[in-house]
């Protein structure tokens, strides 16, 4: 595998970064077949694929850092990795930052919700005091080994304190040393423009489909001033719809005959999931 690229270098080049969501080995392997500048390990996707339960803070640090290591072992594309609230207090944040960096992530995302956190586009979110998050950002910055490991500070305050409150928080997190700002869940294009007008720093837009935030094309996001767009839910929304339809067809007909869901050819599946490497190994070493 090639040497892992630097996300900081891409940002310094002024590159607009499109980062699709990945949440397990198969999604990472398929994403790696394309020339993405970065990938985004979605906590929502990891949580729901591992537990089948909602993204409400049930996934542990150990489960998440294991997913980071699994994904980075498959691809050298820089990985932006969701770390929820840092999985606890300040000492937990230090442990999390060190673990994610050692596991190969290019950036870690930490948010200012209270624990247990909730998906950013669902009701009932609560945010911790801003000064607690400021301390977490400072700890994160001081705990990394390399400045190429980037700290993303996310605020979920838009729904609780309004956009003004979210912007004040983001400014404090930037002053604390965050490399990238993520103001979650703006509700209009005008709010997105105001976020970009406020900060002279790399900004991340969450392009989760069918949520509170307008889904904008790349050219418009660039025009507004964003530098990163993540698409966290796209792969598991697509997979979930396909799986539901296949199961419904089999339940009704007792067979996959006539199913209207596109299915990957078995030969293509074998090629795309690495079987040729195994066959080559067997040919060289097996009896």
β-strand 79-82 against 39-41: which pairing, if any?
parallel
Average pLDDT, integer, range 22-44: 94
Which residues does 176 contact at the CB level (< 8 Å), separation at least 6? Answer: 134, 135, 137, 138, 141, 153
Q: For residue 47, how many other CB atoms are within 10 A of its CB? A: 25
Q: What are the C-alpha distances in Å from 43 to residues 2, 71, 96, 101, 238? A: 26, 13, 14, 16, 17
pLDDT band, very low/low/confident/very high, at 45 (cuts 50, 70, 90):
confident
Structure tokens at 256: 């996959």
What pLDDT digit, counting tens, does each position of 95-128 carry?
A: 999 999 999 999 999 999 987 676 656 666 799 9
What pLDDT digit, counting tens, does each position of 131-179 carry?
A: 999 999 999 999 999 999 999 999 999 999 999 999 999 999 999 999 9
Q: Map tokens 């005959």 to a residue.
A: 257
3-state helix, strand, coil in the chain (%, to 5): 50, 15, 40
Query: In the chain, how long is the greatest CA-to-CA distance?
Result: 69
CA dist 214 and 208 (Å) reads 9
DSSP 147-174: TTSEEEEEE-THHHHHHHHHHHHHHHHH
Q: How many CA within 13 A on the CB side of residue 188?
A: 5
What the chain holds in terms of domains, given with CATH numbers, is: 7-233 (3.20.20.60), 240-285 (no CATH)
Average pLDDT, integer, range 267-286: 93
Q: How many CA within 13 A on the CB side of residue 74?
A: 23
CA dist 165 and 265 (Å) reads 51
The secondary structure of residue 86, as a DSSP letter, is: -
287 pLDDT more than 90: no
39 pLDDT more than 90: yes
Paired with 279 in beta bridges are none
Residues 173 and 133 sit within 8 Å (Cβ to Cβ)? yes
- Provide, rounded to the nearest whole percent, the portion of the chain with pLDDT above 90: 84
What pLDDT digit, counting tens, does each position of 188-240 carry?
A: 999 999 999 999 999 999 998 878 899 999 999 999 999 999 999 899 899 99
Cα–chain center distance at 94: 20
pTM, rounded to two decimals: 0.94
Structure tokens at 107: 């950036």
């Amino acid at each position: 595998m090639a040497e892992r690229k630097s996300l900081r270098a891409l940002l310094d080049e002024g590159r607009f970064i499109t980062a699709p969501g990945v949440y397990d080995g198969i999604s990472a392997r398929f994403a790696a077949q394309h020339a993405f500048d970065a990938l985004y390990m979605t906590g929502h996707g990891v949580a729901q694929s591992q537990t089948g339960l909602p993204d409400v803070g049930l996934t542990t640090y150990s489960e998440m850092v294991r997913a980071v290591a699994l994904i980075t072992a498959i691809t050298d594309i820089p990985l932006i990795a969701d770390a929820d609230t840092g999985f606890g207090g300040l000492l937990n944040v230090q442990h999390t930052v060190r673990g994610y960096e050692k596991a190969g992530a290019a950036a870690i995302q930490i948010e200012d919700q209270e624990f247990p956190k909730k998906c950013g586009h669902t009701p009932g979110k609560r945010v911790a005091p801003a000064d607690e998050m400021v301390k977490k950002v400072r700890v994160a910055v001081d705990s990394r080994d390399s400045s190429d490991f980037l700290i993303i500070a996310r605020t979920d305050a838009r729904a609780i304190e309004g956009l003004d409150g979210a912007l004040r928080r983001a400014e404090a997190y930037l002053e604390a040393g965050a490399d990238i700002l993520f103001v979650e869940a703006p509700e209009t294009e005008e709010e997105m423009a105001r976020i970009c007008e406020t900060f002279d720093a790399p900004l991340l837009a969450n392009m989760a489909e069918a949520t509170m935030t307008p889904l904008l094309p790349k050219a418009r996001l660039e025009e507004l001033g964003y530098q990163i767009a993540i698409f966290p839910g796209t792969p598991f929304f697509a997979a979930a719809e396909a799986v539901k339809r296949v199961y419904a067809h089999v339940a009704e007909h007792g067979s996959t005959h006539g199913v209207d869901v596109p299915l990957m050819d078995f030969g293509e599946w074998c090629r795309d999931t690495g079987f040729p490497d195994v066959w080559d190994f067997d040919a060289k070493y097996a009896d």
